[in-house]
Structure 1
Amino acid sequence: MTPSLLTNAELYRCAFEGMCDPILLLKDGRFVDCNAATLKMLGGITKSQLIDRTPGDISPAYQPDGRTSADKAEATIAIAMREGFHRFEWMHARADGSEFLVEISLTPITVGSEVVLLTLWRDITERKQAERFEQFRSHVLELLAGDQPLPVILEAIVRGVEQLDSAMLCTILLLDKDGKRLKTGAAPSLPDFYNRAIESVEIGVGVGSCGTAAFTGERVIVDDIATHAYWAPFTELAAQAKLGACWSQPIRSSTGQVLGTFAIYHHEAHRPAESDLHLIEQTAHLASIAIERSVAAEKLRDSEAHYRLLTEDALDVIWKTDSELRMTYISPADERLRGYRADEVVGHHVFELFTDEGIATAKEIMRQRKAIGSPAAQADFINFEAQHRCKDGRTIWGEIFSTAVFDEQGAITGYHGITREISKRKQMEEQVRQLAFHDSLTNLPNRRLLYDRLKQSMAASKRSGCHNAVMFLDLDNFKPLNDAHGHEAGDLLLIIAADRLKRSVREIDTVARFGGDEFVVVLNELDADRAASTALAGNVAEKIRAALSAPYLLTISKDGKTDIVVEHRCTVSIGVVVFINHEVNQDDILKWADATMYLAKEQGRNMICFFEGEI
């Protein structure tokens, strides 16, 4: 049948049933119609079972915010009817009793002579889980940046995963120095008798999930402990601990060495979903960062102890200067580190060792020390970090410990000290900072850095008098790719999309990953005129829309076998807010951009919408 021959009712029904997201109609607080996508999301109920029921009838008794489902439904319907639109989060229950979180949009529409509520559902379970993982990951990275002890960080990792899913019991086991036995790193939720029984177990094939994973270097998934051959020696122990499944992932160093294992247990036999495997991999990577950093710190402590024992052949640089800061002695270690012979250094000013940034740091430390004035205070050791020049053009980081030398009258006759190379430590600290403020998949700024960039953008707008803009982007047709080809394909597409986004904007602009398949772009220094700024933002948004709508060719490995190339097409819905100065807060700007993006979704997707409200 051609479109021209369709009646209005037929057109409505085709559009209604053709939407991939659930759509329902509410009248007087009860459902009067729904599409097939609604029934699919609810897990097998029929339309006749849904019609004439209330939202509370297909929901748990209480919502996550503590209100009863009946009270919250009545309140949200009232808001939508009063304000013409309302969006909120809601917990529904499937036919099998499992619960899932949705984002609901309510819009009053007139059908004939009656007003009904057009109701749109969007499953946000995965998005919320990704947000919770990002919060957990950021917390762990903060502990790393704060130099917390390894046991504290490992327990934080384990408890963080357990909070993501209360059915999970997690452990981190560490290989001993010989690489033959596993020791408990963190296992707060497993019984003490179980932890004692497996302490220092020798790894090998058939030594449970963790012993096998540590020995083979491969992930080991045991769905049912009671029947799996790897668990035969420990069946009674596992039964006593009420453990039914164990999935173990090797924790590898940056060079590929197995450091230990991260494992997830369940009380009952349980097969992992793809999202569970993704969680295991990401968590094992976090643990590897913590363990490697601890090993590096331990090596540094050993190095310091060695220095105290050995002076002549010290790895650190020992040096002396006169009162004018000209070098009078430098140990052979300097030649090994920087490439300069002692005769090329002695007699030269100490500042010649440093880069311009290092000189500035040293001068500031000296100014602060001089301001103290007290001879006793000036006799104390000072400690600072500075970049040093090398003969081959490289720069290295050094940690300097220095003190003044006084004559009998209390006058400074010179200085002496030690310089220790800390380039690897600085590199690791920078890596931790990078992980704390950037998305690990796309390397784009994460939410935390986005808020900082947006704050700077708002302050710059106030100073310059120019408008700026925020774009909220959500990829259309992304979920079917994950469903058909798995998270590996989705991750590849997100990496390509991030690269296309960066190529579509200027260096002064910011592209951030907000979560899942959502991105945020901040455009800076547009124009003093709002209309001109809106036009500029529109041009950039159209450039982005065209770039992200181009086909994606994704090379995917299937079960470790031959790679396949998948062509996928997805579009993008974009919400844009143009603003000036900082008279509004960041949350409002992002909320408006998000709401405008959803308006683009509701108007057919693959669209750009501008926020038209008052700022």
Structure 2
Amino acid sequence: MNPKHDSIVAKLPSLAHSNISIKRYGAILTMLLDASPLKDILHSLVLLIEEEKLGTIGSILLLSDDGKRLLTGAAPNLPDSYNQAIHGIEIGDGVGSCGTAAFTGQRVIVEDVSTHPYWEPYKALPLSAGLHACWSEPIKDSQGKVLGTFAMYYDSVQSPTDIDLALISEAARLASLAIERSSALQFQRLTANIFKHLPIAMVVTDAHGTILDANPTFYRYLQCQPTDYVLFDPQIVFQPSGQQLTLMCRQLQSNQAWQGELIGRRVGGEYFHLELTVSIFKEQGSDEQYSSWLFSDISERKKASELIYFQANYDSLTGLANRNHLFRVMESEIESDNQTRGFAFMLMDLDNFKQVNDTFGHDKGDQLLQAVSTRLQGCIVDNSLLSRLGGDEFALFLPGIVEERELVAIASKINDAVSQPIKLSGNKKVLTSVSIGITRFPEDAMTLEQVLNCADQAMYISKDEGRDCFHFFTEQMQQNAERTANLHAALKLALDSHAFELYFQPIICLTTNKIIRAEVLLRWEHEGKFVSPEEFIPLAESSGLIVDLGHWVRQESMSFLLTLQETSPDIGLSINVSMYEFWSHSLQDNLINSILNIALNLTAEPFPFDMLTIEITESLLMKQHNHLIASLQKLRNMGIKIAVDDFGTGYSSLSYLSHFPIDQIKIDKSFIQNSDHSIKQQALVKAITTLSHALDLNVVAEGVESVEELEFVRTAEIEAVQGFYFYRPMTKASLLRLLD
């Protein structure tokens, strides 16, 4: 027996009491078995019915996929105009014979179209085509779902006989079989096509691993031909998966499915990552087990995922862990229960890296960072994590290592390794070093933020104390950091609330022994104590407040200068200006404009700029920029004198003095104090004085505190002095009383 034939015959309607000839019935059956197109089968079925009952004009309408409209299936003898008119008509109760039958699922017999209410809105259409009666039978599938309608039209008013009703019923059942068979074949073809073109591999096997079917993608993934694989053995195909493969096989013994990621091996030995779904099933009525293996090649996705993971957790330049990865590991260690062993953390910053970057270029700077990271990796111990935090900053996480002896050995090894000459491309050799700050958890800090802050403080101590060294964090560092933070916050409030005060230290002319000027000094009393300028001025410079603070000092000083002019017109003032106010062209212009604007706001009369001296630091002379020289010259053109303060403490070079528009130098007190005990010191001061005079510069000696120092200054022919021997810094009121 043919199984195809059996499956169709089982669904055929009974031919008892049927006038349809077995021969013609067989023709329909043959078309079904041959998988003829549905259109041809329905066409033949309509002609068969029309032959069986003369005078009948048959029509098959198919229900649309949305179940709302009827579409032409087959009606070879109906007028084309009529077929076109009813094609796509919406079904509904009272919508002609077919529309009502499809909507209700019940047979509709209309003997006279001209009088039946179902046809009232539409009767002109069939009557014009010569159609006067219409019997319609709903076509239903095996589940009772309406698939369409089979209609029999007549050119006269007619009522069906019992034989007619049997005929239309059996015709509808034959149409149902054809439609269902066509749908099944279409679905089968669609399924096969999908299976063939599926972009993922699929293979079906029996219980022994014999391949029953496999799509082309399966063979493409494994890079083989169908003859290469008769049996599908997961132990061979997925062998590189190791433990994961074992877990899958174990689970499939107790479950009917498994899903996960494995590693496959192609025929040539190449490995690839795959995502697999396994299902074990049985066919209905059979005890035989089958397996479907559905997998996709996710190698590219894995590579992308690994790349994303690497970029998220590692530094692309050095390959070291980045800050995110490092901090996550440290945070995990801090939050773990294993706090008894603790850990150490080293923060490392390259010394003079900017100089290498600026001198040789960023590509050489990158090479230097790579070379340093390689050397650092040669110094670390097992289980430690080396990281590049960014720029020229590195960090080393040392879990379980807190002993000072061990940490000293590691830090010393790092200092020694990094300080060795490094050869870059182009035969360029550079020297660098690293400053290290070391802190320990939980001894020094209890949170990640605290660990980082403590290491940062210790590292900057290493920077301040000569670089190329290491320091452990101490409690004193924390206290200093807290004080700095508090002063930093209080500094802005002090400026806004005018908490600063000006003091003045007179400068004496040694020829007349009279006061000729006074240096303006800034004082700040905070929480009942004076804060040293050496402490708060750097804070103001680092925070950017120095510009506003400098403006306030100039405004108060210039206002006081006008007051002095009323009583002591021969007394001038010297005002210190931070080098940060000369840092850029715009800041230099801002300084000049601020002085001019203050003068305009203070008086309508010409301001006595000739009684004003601006003191700059010696380090500013290193910036031999045309704009800076032009800015100083503008100040001199206004009448302001330019003095170099603390001369001798920076990059001392009298050659700089010849390039700058300056009027005087102030020799730092370190050269004056105890000069009576040092012949070399005396010779140096005399040489500076002689050369300064040769450049037509006035000289002021700072820090004169004894008779011996004063006598030395006189013998060196220095024309003015400043120091405790004469006067200590005093308030505005005290200076006014002194001058009176």
For normalisation by structure 1, the TM-score amounts to 0.41
Instruction: Give the number of the structure with larger relative contact order, counting CA–CA contacts within 8 Å between residues 6 or more apart.
Output: 1
